[in-house]
Amino acid sequence: MIDKVKLAAAVLIVVLGLAGFYYFDEQSVLLRAGMVIVAVVAGLAVALLSAPGQAAWEFAKGARLELRKVVWPTRRETVQGTGMVLLMVILIGIYLWIMDTILFWVIYDLVLGTGT
């Protein structure tokens, strides 16, 4: 139950920060944006004190650890892969254009006999 209260308080803090942004519309935008940033940071801090917040934090740490294990492609592999994708897009585009032209000719000239 206490976790739900903490999460509700976190949401309330963020909502109040956003409401303050619009309520103090005569103030400078920098000040109002700072208020929203402080509210979001405070809301996150309160949310991290709850069990779901702690679980989310542990998940984020695990995801970061797994991200470090990823073997990223080299620049050369990336350029070659991108080149192959572009080549295939161009070839399929040309193929579809040719098929469209042939089908247009077949339908309008041979089937309908309207000819252009």
Q: Going by C-beta distance under 8 Å and a sequence separation of 6 or more, which residues neighbour residue 35?
A: 17, 20, 21, 24
Q: Looking at residue 116, what is its pLDDT?
A: 55
Q: Looking at residue 39, what is its pLDDT?
A: 95
Q: Looking at residue 111, what is its pLDDT?
A: 77
pTM of the model as a whole:
0.56
CA gap 25, 37 in Å, rounded: 16
Query: Is 43:10 a contact under the CB 8 Å cutoff?
Result: yes
Structure tokens at 110: 């041979």
Q: Looking at residue 70, what is its pLDDT?
A: 92
- Going from N- to C-terminal start, the domains of the chain cover 2-69, 73-116
